[in-house]
Amino acid sequence: MSVVIEKVCMTAMKLHSQRTIDPAAGSIIMAIGIFLLGAIHQFPFLDLHVGFTFSAITVLLWVIFFFLFIRSTLTKTYRQSLANSYISSFGLGTWIAATSVIGDLIVQRAPQYLSFVEVLAIGNVILWIIFMAFSIRQFAMIFRERKFTETHGVILLSTVSTQSIVTLLLNLNPDFEPAVIMALISIGLLLYGLSFILLMIRFGKKFGTIHELKNTDCIIHGALSISGLAMAQSGYFSFGTLNAFWLLVFSFFIIIEALEILRAIQRVKQSGLRDGLFTYHITQWSRNFTFGMFYFFTLTFISRNTSHDLHFHVEIMNIMGWLVICLLVIQIGNWAYNRLKAII
């Protein structure tokens, strides 16, 4: 434990020397946190022996990253860059989603700190309101400047951040004001519809170019998964509605990831295995999060509908558990290799 924390602190010192942090760096916390909330429970040995320790380390990383993010926003050039980056600036939504994941993780792993999570939730709601105002401005700029063909899955973080607020509020209080919960879920779905239309315009104009698929486009199914999770946790939706929604998410998951496999095959043919598949980019964490979120949505749906025959869903969940942990190990290894290569 002490060795791991020492390595985390050493990494933090190196990050501290940087002037700014990537706006989407919160996706790292999202990816690791959602694994600790969901898929790790499929592996009892890991959950029992390292679950709490990894959760504590993830919270520590969030504290460090969030401090660096706040420090970055105090830089005028950083703020100007975000304001002028109509699309990539949606990556700011990772900080709201990451904070919600941290709150959910503390509630699950250390409920004695519930009062801290309550304060965290208030701060996160304030950040979400600011981000919503900023997102509306950025959406307007996309339409005004006609940047339709430049959009990618990152704009769906408007939905992800919104639904993450729902899950945080419901984890704090399952009986939270129904009108507020339904309003937030509806806002998230409306933002999904808007973002999806923009993405379809891009796909329509660049149809047939497999390389046009971006790492963040997996959020097409990931944003639906977290919407499904919010709907399932709320308790306001019937089994039939949730099952139909799960099937929709599963269909999108299969389509998007099948396209991603085709893209990966072409990249390997053109650039080789290492450069084709293992060139690190921060947007790759989005896939870890979306896989983990689909698992967590499925787990929650199954656990709240035990009276129904969900054998197919259970089988899919068990397969997803292995995919989530394998992809996370690969991604952490890829990140570590990239950091080591940068130092050497």
Tokens of 200: 């379809």
pTM: 0.92
Residue 150 three-state SS: helix
CATH placement of domain 2-343: 1.50.10.150
Residue-level pLDDT at 205: 79
Which residue positions in the chain have pLDDT lower than 50? 1, 3-5, 8, 12-13, 15-17
Q: Where are the alpha helices (DSSP H) in the chain?
A: 2-16, 26-37, 44-73, 76-84, 93-109, 114-144, 157-172, 178-205, 219-234, 239-277, 285-303, 311-343
Residue-level pLDDT at 208: 58
- DSSP for 305-343? -TTS--HHHHHHHHHHHHHHHHHHHHHHHHHHHHHHHHH
Residue-level pLDDT at 107: 97
Distance between CA atoms of residues 158 and 227, nearest Å = 12
Cβ 228 vs Cβ 301: under 8 Å? yes
Distance between CA atoms of residues 68 and 28, nearest Å = 14
Cβ 144 vs Cβ 97: under 8 Å? no
Residue-level pLDDT at 210: 56
The half-sphere exposure of 287 on its side-chain side, counting CA atoms within 13 A, is 22
Residue 234 three-state SS: helix
Residue-level pLDDT at 118: 97
Tokens of 115: 């009062």
Distance between CA atoms of residues 136 and 194, nearest Å = 11
- Please name the residues in contact with 316: beta carbons below 8 A apart, sequence gap of 6 or more: 250, 298
Is the alpha carbon torsion for 100, 102, 103, 104 positive or negative?
Answer: positive
Terminal-to-terminal C-alpha distance of the chain: 26
Neighbours of 311 (CB within 10 A): 9
Residue-level pLDDT at 330: 94
Distance between CA atoms of residues 39 and 28, nearest Å = 16
Distance between CA atoms of residues 270 and 123, nearest Å = 47
Give the type of residue at 35.
F
Cβ 195 vs Cβ 230: under 8 Å? no
Distance between CA atoms of residues 301 and 38, nearest Å = 12
Cβ 162 vs Cβ 184: under 8 Å? yes
Q: What is the mean pLDDT of the chain?
A: 91
pLDDT digits (tens, 9 = 90+) for 86-133: 999 999 999 999 999 999 999 999 999 999 999 999 999 999 999 999
DSSP 90: G
